[in-house]
Amino acid sequence: MEMRTSVICFLVFLSTVNGFSFFAEKIPNGEFVPHPCKPNFLWKGVGHKNKDGGGERNQFGRDFLKSGKIWSESLCRMDSDGDGKSNGEELGDPNCVWREGDIPQFMTGITHPGVCDPMNATICLEKNTWVDCSLESFQCQALRDDPDIKNMTLTFPKTPVPVEETNYYCMAFEFPQDGDYHMIATEPIIDNIHVMHHILLFGCTKKPPISTTEPQHCGMGLGDCLDIIGGWTVGATGECLHKDIGFRLGQHGYSYGILQFHWNNPLKRSGYVDGSGLMIHYTPNKRIADAGVLVIGQNFFEIPPQQEEVHVTGRCNNLALNGPINITRAINHMHYLGRKMTIEHFRGEDETEYITNEPDYSYDSPKLYSFSNPIVFKPGDTLKTTCVFKSTGKKKTVFYGDGTNDEMCLGFLTYYPKQNIQSPFCVSFKDIDQMQLFTSEEYKSCRHWDFLLSLTEEMRHLKNQVIENCQPLRGCLSECQSTVKLVKRHPCITEDVGSWIKNAALFSLDQRVNRTEMETFYLGLSSCDVWFESHKNDDNSSNNGSQLTLSLFLYFFYTMYFFVTIMF
């Protein structure tokens, strides 16, 4: 009976969520209305006092109901919250011309039509008493149960935020070296919520080449410091590990940590500073096992505009294991176009279970899946990640990327024992297991690092041939054609590995890449794309012609031989 009740409650909840999504599509920018006092949060139920929808309606919700639940000109010109701006102005349709299914005139600068803004204006103070601006507090029972808990604060000094939309900055911190400890919890310290997108803490077994005194620009990759041991994203209150595990710090564990910030400054405002960070909680009372974090998913995809659903999948088929692992928690990660996400566990051909199943994904309300009885993952098992995106409000194609307005499809799984996974990264690029690229010098006859970073004379010469002979603005030059014919067949240009190199060269934040050189190379190479497509079968045709000539010769030879033999 209890199971049946739970299923009914879940179905009611799911139908309610889908209902709010349905109504959000009936007003301009209805799925992207920001919370008025919680930066980076969205107000899903725009017509309700509860940001997630349901319950009492706000004044805009009541006006929407009176209008027949449609976006009419009268509703558009109305000022429901009494702040001096019409509902249309607040939702990006100042001229009241939007119709359901259209792209709104404006998609930035959106404000809530049911909440008087700015919040602290005299005219708004009495009207907004119902708006909840509080954040959930962090709760972790282990911090109360262990009398030997220590903590350490890892924060950036007050640092100016660059006038750019997407910024990654890093700073290193030394962990205690007077013994071994288990880090069992992390707690966010958010100084400037207006720019903070996420924080990651990476563990290092030796001192990294990153400053310990001031933040510096960094990419997503951090050399030898690949292990994620903590983090924060919008809506999270902190992390509290399973009772049997901890991340090992100290003499036989991580001696340093790198704190990585992703600052999001979409309006490119000047004057922002930030000194956020994490408080880590650690204990000398070591637990049963060392913890690790496995990253899975897919990081090559494109989402066309105005699509109800776009499905993206990634598979982790060949995870190198030294033995079984136990998964204690999981969290999904997409950005604002994400609508649904699952992580499935397969053993052989059979699906064993869902590790996550989130039909109502919300970027600013992350759901943590915790398992008091861990999920056992054995050698030969497979993980499948499925992300579903909705782009009905987008004018342009959205790609995988590091920026907030890009998208991601990643899953983060905490597991133990750490030593049973050789590498904590199993994210696909198309059908490639990228760990094979990261841990090898050659993949399918392509020395990918040599090509990407121009490490050898051979690779430098190959690129220079294209750069010197091909001029994109002058068309497909004759001297470019022979070069392109050769280079296009190079194993580092063809198939998925070629796409990976090009993507890394043009769009990653890896500072080792000479981006100007690579852009010039790929532009030159593309100048003869049409010519190459029309001539790429010439060699095959020539070979086929030679084979046909040989076949005819042999036919006539043996015919004459047979004739002569019979006659004589």
**DSSP one-letter code for 18:** H
The whole-number pLDDT of residue 361 equals: 93
Q: Which residues contact 96 (CB under 8 A, 6 or more apart)?
A: 73, 76, 77, 88
What domains can be seen in the chain, in order of their start residue? Answer: 2-125 (no CATH), 138-288 (2.60.120.310), 291-439 (2.60.120.230), 448-535 (no CATH)
131 neighbors 118 (Cβ within 8 angstroms): no
Among 237, 275, 58, residue whose Cα is nearest residue 153: 275
323: helix, strand or coil: coil
Q: Which residues contact 245 (CB under 8 A, 6 or more apart)?
A: 182, 287, 288, 289, 290, 291, 328, 414, 416
- Greatest CA span in the chain, whole angstroms? 119
SS (H, E, C) 40-77: CCECCCCCECCCCCCCCECHHHHHHHHCCCCCCHHHHH
Tell me, rounded to whole angstroms, the distance of Cα 492 from its chain centroid: 25
Q: Distance between CA 371 and CA 367 in Å, rounded?
A: 13
Q: Distance between CA 337 and CA 282 in Å, rounded?
A: 36
| Residues recorded for the chain | 568
**DSSP one-letter code for 443:** B
- For tokens 């009372």, what's the residue? 285
Beta strands in 348-476 (DSSP E): 350-358, 368-377, 382-389, 398-399, 410-416, 425-429, 432-433
Q: Distance between CA 91 and CA 411 in Å, rounded?
A: 33
Q: Distance between CA 141 and CA 199 in Å, rounded?
A: 23
317 neighbors 445 (Cβ within 8 angstroms): no
The whole-number pLDDT of residue 38 equals: 83
Cα dihedral 476/482/487/489 (nearest 10): 110
The whole-number pLDDT of residue 440 equals: 87
The mean pLDDT values, 10 residues at a time, for the chain of 568 residues are 37 42 84 86 90 90 94 95 95 94 89 93 91 86 94 97 93 96 96 92 94 87 82 90 97 96 90 96 97 96 94 92 96 94 90 90 89 95 96 91 89 97 90 85 93 94 94 92 91 92 85 91 93 74 47 42 40
Q: Which residues contact 68 (CB under 8 A, 6 or more apart)?
A: none
Angle, CA of 552, 553 and 557, to the nearest 5°: 115
406 neighbors 400 (Cβ within 8 angstroms): yes
Beta bridge partners of 303: 398
- The structure's pTM equals 0.80
Q: Distance between CA 291 and CA 188 in Å, rounded?
A: 20
Angle, CA of 211, 214 and 216, to the nearest 5°: 70
The whole-number pLDDT of residue 53 equals: 85
96 neighbors 73 (Cβ within 8 angstroms): yes
The whole-number pLDDT of residue 223 equals: 66
Q: Which residues contact 491 (CB under 8 A, 6 or more apart)?
A: 444, 445, 446, 497, 498
